[in-house]
Amino acid sequence: MARIITVTSGKGGVGKTSISLNLSLSLASEGFKVCLFDADLGLANVNILTGIYPKKDLESVISGQFSLNDIMIKNYQGIDIIPGSSGVEKIADLTQTQTGTLISAFLDLEDYDYFIFDTSAGISSQVLSFCMASHEIILVATCEPTSLTDAYSMLKVLSKYQYDCPVKVVINQVTSGKSAQRAYAGLKETVKKFLPIKVEPLGIVASDKNVRAAVISQTPFFLLFPDTIASKCIKTITDKLINKAGQTGDMPLEIFWDKCLSFLETHYKPKKEPAPQKEPVEETAPVQEKKENHPQIEKALLHIELKLSSLIKEVGDIKRFLEAHTFIPKKDNEKALALPEPKEISLDFESWLKRNSK
């Protein structure tokens, strides 16, 4: 049993992975056993922020080559990390056997107090499956209009799939308290007006030059600069999460994965068409009769085509006949061409055919 939290965002570059990692470390510093699942496919940012580059990922577990304990980064500054990478991308296409392998792998894990899923940015099938299977979602955004718009888009999709738990919002890279308040208030008002989903504030993380220095040194800022303003913000968010423990309830990991994979199965895997059934003998006769009529149809079409070709040729003959009997009218002060007076031309088509057939 673990308290499962999915950290996501509608837009990349808002610091989602940094918050996931430092929040995990902050929870561990309070004595909780924490596992961070790196499900960010884009840049594998947990690797960049920690300087750890694992050789095996979740794909090795799905294929049955290794167990989760084999690929897990154990006790990194008090937390365990599961590298997802390409294995996360394949979750949507798992066979029934691979699904069983994945769920069994998580059954073998030891118990955790917190299981944090750091997802990719955006609304891919994998991201949505993690969100829909979680009782708690932390949505990270900044004060920028584009970030707030993308955050609203994420909430809109979650509403579409009837996610019914309040989504916790963290405003990151905040330069002033007022701007954070305006950003959250605007998002909440828009959601309240147009969506059935609920949002609630979890906290802010202030813009901090030490965060940049921590990224360069590949050490989480919560460890490198424990007293900096960003670390204090993370600590406040941690305290708020701990105080709300019990409101959402813990969940066995196997139940989480079952919900996650069921969501993908229902909404993203193409439905298999049923195999065509053999028709009874008495119903095959009309089908056979139609097949036998195909040569007759082709013969009729060929006959029509020949008739059309003949008609086109005859119309061409009529055209040439008319052009040959055209006369030029006389003009003043000019001699008319020595052409015989044209005879009356019958434009009766049947008479013309009889005359030309002689």
The 10s digit of each residue's pLDDT in 210-239 is 999 999 999 999 999 999 999 999 999 999
How confident is the model at residue 274, as a pLDDT? 53
Beta bridge partners of 5: 116, 136
Highest mean pLDDT, choosing among 16-30, 52-66, 336-350: 16-30
Residues 142-196: tens digit of each pLDDT = 999 999 999 999 999 999 999 999 999 999 999 999 999 999 999 999 999 999 9
CA gap 122, 142 in Å, rounded: 15
Distance of CA 208 to the CA centre of its chain: 33
CA gap 65, 63 in Å, rounded: 6
* Short-list 53, 34, 35, CA closest to 43: 53
Mind listing the domains of the chain with CATH numbers? 3-267 (3.40.50.300)
Asked whether the beta carbons of 184 and 171 are under 8 A apart, the reply is yes
Higher local confidence (pLDDT), 310 or 238: 238
- The upper half-sphere exposure of residue 33, i.e. CA atoms within 13 Å in the direction of its Cβ, equals 8
pTM of the model: 0.73
pLDDT at 291 over 60: no
CA gap 158, 255 in Å, rounded: 20
* Short-list 340, 306, 313, CA closest to 326: 340
Helix (H) or strand (E) holding 129: helix 125-133
Asked whether the beta carbons of 151 and 157 are under 8 A apart, the reply is no
Q: Are strands 79-83 and 73-76 parallel, antiparallel or unpaired?
A: antiparallel
